Chains A and B, each alone.
Chain A
Amino acid sequence: MIGEKTIANIGGGAVSIAQHVGGIVVLTGQVLRALIPPRIDGRELVKNLHKMGNRSVPIVALTALFAGGLMMLQSGPFVKKLGATGLAGWAAGYAVLREIGPILIALMFSGRVGANNTAELSTMTVTEQLDGLRALAIDPVKFLVVPRVIAMMVMLVALTVIGDLVALVGATVVGSALLEIDASTMYHSFADNLKPYDFLHGISKSVAFGAAIAMSSCYFGVTVRGGAVGVGRAVNAAVVAAAVSIMLLDFFITYLAG
């Protein structure tokens, strides 16, 4: 009896995952289709760019500062034990530019912007504003979803560029304040060991993360059902889906790009 219930649960879970993935793919198709004659509502786009990008700078900068400091805290003692302080920037910088920077910034972005966007879109959906748009012959995907997707992709890349820089500053600050590795050593260590490709590797990840966050947050926003409880559940589902897809994409991009 227990076996039957477990199998039913697993099957139900698989079906609902397949349903959501399919829904996200269909929405992506609709977004791409809406881009074919590229006519985007400029005012909505600028509004979203400002709301999603400029207003996330403080939280992203703080996260990046701590992330850079953390990498330095973890790698610093080891590097010092080996007596190779010149390599301090290599270990921290490499980890920050390729992995920790893009992932942590994307996770914070998904919490700040993706969840917010789901909350906003799902509130519009449950208060039937989307149906109102449809009644006025305005395609909600074209008017609401497309500008948001573009804004999130552009702004996550821009924020990752800022965040990478701030994280390297954080690593330098921690190195000189807690580990007695002076700033000039750190600077030369960064400059000698980090290649432009490391930076581009991280940026290419954040393009994909931005698309994943945007699509999952818009999908759960427009398909929500049932009042305030539904909105909470949609936001929860959107951040979980974004986190899973960030990890999966990270893995595949790392393998493909090397």
Chain B
Amino acid sequence: MLHPVPTLRETPSQTAGPYVHIGMTPNFAEIRGIYDADPGLAMLTPQTVGERIKIVGRIVDGAGSPVGDAVVEIWQADASGAFAAPMGPTSNSAPPFTGWGRQPVNAEGVFTFETIKPGPVAGPDGKPMAPHVSLWIVARGINIGLQTRLYFADEAEANAADFVLKKILDPRRRQTLIAPREEGIVPRYVLDIYLQGDKETVFFDI
């Protein structure tokens, strides 16, 4: 099988900087009136099918301090495991669920997404991957966006068979991607992101 050789090089990444909120969440940055709402703020509509959940996490730097100026984006399948993307191998092109969210962290480095629990998505081997959410994190001091995943602790059997989690040989590191469930009116999955140190989160080269 032949592939064409790439002719251009990717534009180099640069940090999002300390004022990333001006561009990505201007209403949060108190720049009002340009956009009706910050993009990605709301992922759900009343028609969205699936279990309502919250995804909550705190981003911590190598000195143990909260990263208070980050922006987090998530991308996930819907409850049936389909992506709201016409480009995708499994698409639903008029989605009541966007699958994409964007949130600034607060001063304590905490982000919160109100979303649904995704269904399983087919992996490259044709077997389903465990339900998961992709995360992308940018901030001052991050030269290229950090990519990771959140898995759900109550999917222990699926997690044990997941090809990505199985690539992480150290069980302690594998645990950095698995969010415990906290019951409530809306259940919460809580996953702290450690940029460095003993508990450093597994980040991906995708």
Q: Do A and B come from one complex?
A: no
Binding site for B on A (CB under 8 A): none
